[in-house]
Amino acid sequence: MREWWRGAMTYQVYPRSFQDSNGDGVGDLPGITARLPHLAGLGVEAIWLSPIFRSPMADMGYDVSDYTDVDPVFGTLDDFDALIAQAHDLGLKVIIDQVLSHSSDRHPAFVESRSNRDNPKADWYVWADPRHDGSPPSNWLSVFGGSAWAWDARRKQYYLHNFLASQPDLNFHNPAVQDWTLQNMRFWLERGVDGFRLDTVNYFFHDPLFRDNPADYRVKAEAEGNPYGMQYHLFDKNQPENLIWLERIRQLLDEYGATSVGEMGESHHAIRMMGEYTRPGRLHQCYSFELMGQEYSAAFFRDRIGAFFEGAPDGWPMWAFSNHDVVRHVSRWARYGASQDALAKQAGSLLLAFEGSICLWQGEELGQTDTDLAFDELTDPQGITFWPEPVGRDNTRTPMVWDGSAAGGFTTGTPWLPVKAPQLSRNVAAQEGVPDSVLEHYRAMIAFRKGSEALTAGRTGFLDLGEPVLGFLRGEGAGAVLCLFNLSPVARSVTLGGVHAMIGPSLAVARDGERLTLGPNAAAFLTVTGDVQVVT
């Protein structure tokens, strides 16, 4: 039997912003449970919940103070159990975030670890003596700005934090930390979760010699908005011990038949590392930020997706265009669209035609865009630190819009982030049942993918076509599907051979015999009858 996750579609839910059930302006578990029918009706197979654990919320839940309880802002363990039960009744799997590389500085383990150098948890976090001049032990930088080392006067040592200073890194070189982490994961598996999304999966281990990172070997004309990108991160992450640790996690997951998704936080070799991390016995699937940048071209998608399967034929990717950390793709790629709707629908068709598993970010099915926020509206520490650029993460995390009311049906109170007019206009109620809407196109495209063995399991063969036309075959023989996309706002024409009928929810396409006109942001799917020929 084929593993359910292979080729499946997962929908990312950001709990703070999905649905508020009690009027406090913050989304919660009962709210998510009430909205599960929308996700089941969309046709996805699984939902991924961003962190719901107890937390001071310095980084919106990615700073965990208790790994085995729900934060009161989201509800209770009983609420979580009810969500799991309802999701399973609707045929949805549930994947939850696991933030394992670091905890909150308020976690009892860190409070004990920092108290002195000889307590039972003294070696549970990454501590190091200063250099002789008092400076940090290495030049490692925090993703959120400044040094990755913070001084602690109690121990008279520095501790490592790859993110906020209130997010100290756990020391996975210590076997006791690994054992404790597996116990925490087992707690949720026993409650019925179907898998884990592993945050910053390449950050678990550090170089124990604390060697300095070299400068990025790529030539830079000027400093980046965030200097973290100016280093080649050879020693503060991406260590070989990561792979051995992932094999331990896989053994636990196999006991329960659960799946894993790793977030590859790397800008240099992400595609290669995705393959390396998903080889048999490691992660089931892995995604990176490779498809979440500014480029929207045939050569780009052909190169990135082809490189993965060429380098890791036994690995498995998860592809996504947007998530809670990046600018929404309809905003990023606006210049490539004849209209916002045209781009949104084409991007959905393109993503859902790729080989691999797929992750959709909440609101993507509405063609939602980033929200313009003023500085005093921000809550994200990264966005505040690097204001005005790079753009922070609050802009993509604003509440889900269900209807045209003042807060979009998200809350009866004041939402934790504002719902503004451009986002309010793209709501579920206004698109429900409207044949040409982005929402109904996503539903049709998801159903098309689920009903096509070629799109869920067929291998990919790219065609070498000129820009801006991207073409590839999914599958082989009589069941193969030819996929064609015009990645521009200007019409293009191609001549076809070896194809038969148009199928699926094609977009902006006209056919005259062997001549196919691909309108602005067109998507075409055709059955294959012989040797395919496409001439641009």
The catalytic residue positions are 199, 255
Q: Which of 356, 275, 351 is CA-nearest to residue 314?
A: 275
Number of alpha carbons in the 13 Å side-chain half-sphere of residue 334: 8
Q: How far apart are CA 480 and CA 376, in angstroms?
A: 53
Q: Tell me, what DSSP letter sits at residue 213?
A: P
32 membership: H or E segment, kind and range: helix 29-42
Burial class (CB in 10 A: 0-12, 13-18, 19+), 22: middle
Residue 451's contacts (CB-CB under 8 Å, 6 or more residues apart) are none
Alpha helices, H only, 71-190: 77-89, 108-113, 175-190
Written as six digits, the tokens of 428 are 């579920």
Report which residue type is found at 204. Answer: F
Report the first-to-last Cα separation within the chain, whole angstroms: 41
Peptide bond into 390 cis (omega under 30): yes
Q: Where are the beta strands (DSSP E) in 248-308?
A: 259-264, 285-288
**Tokens, residue 160:** 């490592």
Residue 112 near residue 120 (C-beta atoms within 8 A): yes
Strands 357-361 vs 318-319: parallel, antiparallel or unpaired: parallel
d(CA 289, CA 272): 13
Exposure class string for 393-416: b at 16+ Cβ within 10 A, else e: bbbbbbbbbbeeeebbbbbeeebb
CA-based torsion, 219, 222, 224, 230: positive or negative: positive
Give 464-475 as a DSSP string.
---TTEEEEEES
In one-letter notation, the amino acid at residue 80 is: F
The answer to whether the CB of 320 falls within 8 A of the CB of 361 is yes
Contacts of 217 (CB under 8 A, 6+ apart): 232
